[in-house]
Amino acid sequence: MNQLQKFGDASVSSRAVPLAAWPVRQSPWSATAKRIFDVTLALALLVVIAPLLLVIAVLVSLDGGPVLYRHSRVGRGITPFDCLKFRTMIVDADHCLTEYLGHHPKASDEWARDQKLMFDPRITPIGKVLRRTSFDELPQIFNVLRGEMSLVGPRPVTSAELARYKEHVGAYASVLPGITGLWQVSGRNDVSYQRRVELDVDYVRRQTLLLDLIILARTPRVILSSTGAR
């Protein structure tokens, strides 16, 4: 069994650990090394994919709406930040969602359970492609460079979603959220929200630079296979 398999299968303790008492498992050297790694790779990726970013920006802007979507998420220390994505939804998407959920009880239950919909009427045609390939998340490279995110870490969540982490909020809040992570390489939307929380906690408790490299190496394969994409 490889390290990633052990990591994903590890059990998660249900013992409550308050944020202030959460143990710091990274040494200053490890934290510095991770930051240097993040910035170096993010800058290299930005140079390589700059033409792709430009093409996507033009395609997204064709309907007259903004290119980027800024959604408030919480990061390390429960600090809010604007998580950047290419816009994949129609203009006035929030109003559309409210009306749709009001007329479709099953969809409303699905949204309450997963915060996602198998069929989402708000998503544009180009948005469907961007989500399936995860290209909509490429602008988060700038979040990494600004120190708000890491290349690898827990999935960035909204403040409302923190309630789902229950006693594990401290684990989530002790690290930077990531563009990719255990959840993304373990099935994405095919994984229950509870399992996603467990994977995030597992990552926090066992994180190493080697594990980050393993997750990053597996991410392109997951994207190309569209595993768990919606």
Is residue 84, in this structure, part of any structural domain at all? yes
Average pLDDT, the chain: 83
Q: How far apart are CA 129 and CA 117, in angstroms?
A: 16
Q: How far apart are CA 215 and CA 180, in angstroms?
A: 8
Is residue 109, in this structure, part of any structural domain at all? no
Average pLDDT over residues 99-121: 79
What is the tally of structural domains in the chain? 1
**pTM score of the predicted model:** 0.79
165: containing domain: 3-88+123-225
Q: Residue 23: what pLDDT? A: 45
- Higher pLDDT residue, 101 or 124? 124
Asked if pLDDT for residue 172 goes beyond 80, the answer is yes
Query: What's the pLDDT band for 226 if we cut at 50, 70, 90?
Result: low
**β partners of residue 180:** 152
Compute how many other C-beta atoms are within 10 angstroms of the C-beta atom of residue 202: 22
Do the beta carbons of residue 87 and residue 57 sit within 8 Å? no
List the beta strands (DSSP E) in 156-205: 178-180
Is residue 213, in this structure, part of any structural domain at all? yes
pLDDT tens string 11-26: 333 333 344 344 445 6
